[in-house]
């Protein structure tokens, strides 16, 4: 068994090295700062603290309470709101907490379709199905790559869902929340925003401000454009104390037992870092996404959202049917050291044959890349997918490009190795 442990350490070292040499373009991934990582492997990992600060079911939680109160305070400052709950352990769990709190089985809940970029939480095989709520789909404007306001108003007035979820996993442009808010009010529906992808952009003042555009509650994961640990979050301006209590009960005991205290402590660090560095990071992340989109478009790639400047977020969607389809292109990019994912795009007929790839700039921005590097990345795409250059050659060029960008930015301890393997023991077991 000792050998297996040695093998595992080696595999994870190789994984870190692979990412150090790659161009990581997964829109939902990011890198943790050294101070956040340190708390992630602290003794908090070994503890239980069910309940809220000061109202625990376990003893020994005095310091956990201090950490949680700091984390809550930072969350409220970052999102300029009165309510926060940092106990959901992931974005999907945060969504389940909202559904538990604000919907009953059988209720109608507004959302977008998967092919229009929605997260699997909205699917019958995801969180919606777990809670037993029925989706009401918004109409979609394929050219503008966002909700079609006029047609969606009609749908909402006709069907009258109780709750309306706004949020996407291919999130190119802000949702038309302010335009839809009067309709939500007229039918008595509550506005809920899943900010997982754009959390760091919202906190950095870059995308939209859902809590001031008609949404009462915002759920999220905390490791995408907000470069925190894998965890979940609820923030908002609940309309009354009853809603606060329901949301808190949704988080615990509704959908969590213990809330991963080590991740919560790391999240507090990430919030503090985002308060200090988030504005610049968010701005540069979006600038890079636009630069990459333009550079790919100039090289003949079909980047969606052209009329509106391709993207206003960290994400771009590229239709790659001419290049072999989403699955094939994602695989070939990976062989060439460029990590992305296949994705369904509007108009795709089968989930098994996604027509596109989704690209994101959170991680390449985090290690300090800028517009010049975005052009270089587009050249690598062109070389591989249009000029027929062998993947092995492109992989070497990708590694050369990445070699200059392996230190973290936009955090305390900037410059620390971004892909460091933390060898705490110093030797393999014998
Ligand atoms: N699966 C994540 C994404 O890549 O968008 C969201 O949970």
| CATH code, 108 | 3.40.640.10
Give the count of beta carbons closer than 10 Å to the beta carbon of residue 388: 7
* Model pTM score: 0.97
Beta bridge partners of 236: 83, 217
What residues are in contact with ligand 1 under a 6 Å CB criterion? 28, 91, 119, 169, 196
Q: How far is the CA of 119 from the centre of ligand 1 (A)?
A: 7
**Residue among 418, 363, 117 nearest 225 (CA):** 363
Each residue's pLDDT tens digit, 266-319: 999 999 999 999 999 999 999 999 999 999 999 999 999 999 999 999 999 999
- Residues in the chain, pLDDT under 50: none
Ligand 1: which of 195, 199, 224 to mutate, judged by most atoms within 8 Å of the beta carbon? 224
The reply to whether 361 falls in a domain is no
- Residue 148, pLDDT score: 97
Instruction: Tell which atom from ligand 1 comes closest to the C-alpha of 121.
Output: 7
Ligand 1: which of 197, 222, 223 to mutate, judged by most atoms within 8 Å of the beta carbon? 197
Structural domain that includes position 68: 35-270
Parallel/antiparallel/unpaired status of strands 338-339 and 23-24: parallel
- Residue 348, pLDDT score: 87
The reply to whether 152 falls in a domain is yes
**CA 332 – CA 15 distance, rounded (Å):** 19
Cα distances (Å, whole numbers) of residue 369 to 150, 325, 373, 401: 40, 28, 6, 10
Q: How far is the CA of 389 from the centre of ligand 1 (A)?
A: 31
- Residue 138, pLDDT score: 98
Which residue CA neighbors atom 3 of ligand 1 most closely? 28
Q: How far is the CA of 185 from the centre of ligand 1 (A)?
A: 30
The dihedrals phi and psi of 402, each to the nearest 5 degrees, come to -70, -25
Ligand 1: which of 112, 116, 127, 169 to mutate, judged by most atoms within 8 Å of the beta carbon? 169
The reply to whether 132 falls in a domain is yes
**CA 183 – CA 189 distance, rounded (Å):** 8
- Residue 351, pLDDT score: 81
**CA 412 – CA 272 distance, rounded (Å):** 9
**DSSP track, 99-162:** HHHH--TT-EEEE--GGGT--GGGSTTSHHHHHT-EEEEPPEETTTTEE-HHHHHHHHHHH--S
Which residue CA neighbors atom 5 of ligand 1 most closely? 169
Instruction: Tell which atom from ligand 1 comes closest to the C-alpha of 341.
Output: 4
Ligand 1: which of 29, 88, 119 to mutate, judged by most atoms within 8 Å of the beta carbon? 119
The DSSP 8-state label assigned to residue 254 in this structure reads I
Q: How many domains does the chain have?
A: 1
Q: How far is the CA of 158 from the centre of ligand 1 (A)?
A: 31
Q: How far is the CA of 221 from the centre of ligand 1 (A)?
A: 9
Cα 243 to chain centroid, rounded? 25
Q: How far is the CA of 29 from the centre of ligand 1 (A)?
A: 9
Instruction: Tell which atom from ligand 1 comes closest to the C-alpha of 26.
Output: 4
- Residue 168, pLDDT score: 96
- Residue 347, pLDDT score: 84
Helix H or strand E encompassing 242: helix 241-249
Instruction: Tell which atom from ligand 1 comes closest to the C-alpha of 29.
Output: 4
Under 8 Å between Cβ of 339 and 333: yes
Instruction: Tell which atom from ligand 1 comes closest to the C-alpha of 119.
Output: 6
């Amino acid at each position: 068994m000792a050998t297996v442990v040695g093998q595992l350490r080696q595999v994870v070292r190789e994984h870190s090295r692979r990412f150090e040499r790659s161009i990581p373009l997964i829109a939902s991934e990011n890198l943790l700062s050294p101070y956040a990582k340190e708390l992630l492997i602290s003794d908090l990992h070994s503890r239980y603290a069910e309940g809220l600060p000061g109202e625990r079911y376990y003893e020994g939680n005095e310091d956990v309470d201090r950490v949680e109160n700091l984390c809550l305070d930072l969350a409220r400052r970052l999102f300029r709101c009165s309510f926060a709950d940092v106990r959901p352990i992931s974005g999907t769990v945060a969504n389940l907490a909202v559904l538990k709190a604000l919907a009953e089985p059988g209720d109608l809940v507004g959302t977008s379709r998967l092919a229009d970029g929605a997260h699997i939480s909205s699917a019958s095989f995801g969180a919606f199905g777990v809670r037993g709520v029925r989706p009401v789909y918004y109409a979609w404007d394929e050219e503008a790559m966002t909700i079609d306001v006029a047609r969606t108003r009609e749908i909402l007035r006709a069907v009258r869902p109780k709750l309306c979820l706004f949020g996407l996993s291919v999130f190119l442009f802000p949702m038309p929340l302010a335009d839809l808010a009067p309709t939500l009010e007229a039918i008595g529906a509550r506005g809920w925003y899943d900010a997982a992808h754009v959390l760091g952009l919202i906190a950095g003042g870059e995308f939209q401000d859902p809590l001031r555009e008609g949404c009462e509650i915002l759920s999220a994961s905390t490791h995408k454009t907000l470069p925190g640990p894998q965890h979940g979050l609820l923030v908002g301006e609940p309309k009354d104390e009853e809603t606060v209590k329901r949301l808190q009960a949704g988080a615990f005991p509704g959908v969590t037992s213990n809330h991963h205290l080590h991740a919560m402590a790391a999240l507090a660090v990430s919030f503090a870092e985002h308060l200090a560095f988030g504005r610049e990071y968010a701005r540069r992340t979006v600038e890079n996404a636009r630069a990459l989109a333009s550079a790919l478009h100039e090289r003949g790639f079909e980047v969606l959202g052209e009329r509106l400047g391709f993207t206003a977020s960290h994400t771009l969607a590229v239709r790659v049917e001419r290049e072999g389809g989403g699955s094939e292109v994602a695989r070939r990019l990976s062989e060439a050291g460029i990590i992305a994912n296949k994705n369904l795009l509007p108009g795709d007929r089968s989930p098994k044959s996604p027509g596109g790839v989704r690209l994101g700039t959170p991680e390449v921005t985090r290690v300090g890349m800028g517009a010049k590097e975005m052009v270089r990345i587009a050249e690598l795409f062109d070389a591989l997918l249009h000029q027929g250059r062998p993947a092995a050659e492109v992989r070497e060029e990708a590694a050369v490009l990445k070699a200059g960008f392996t230190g973290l930015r936009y955090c305390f301890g900037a410059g620390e190795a971004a892909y460091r393997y933390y060898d705490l023991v110093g030797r393999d077991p014998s």
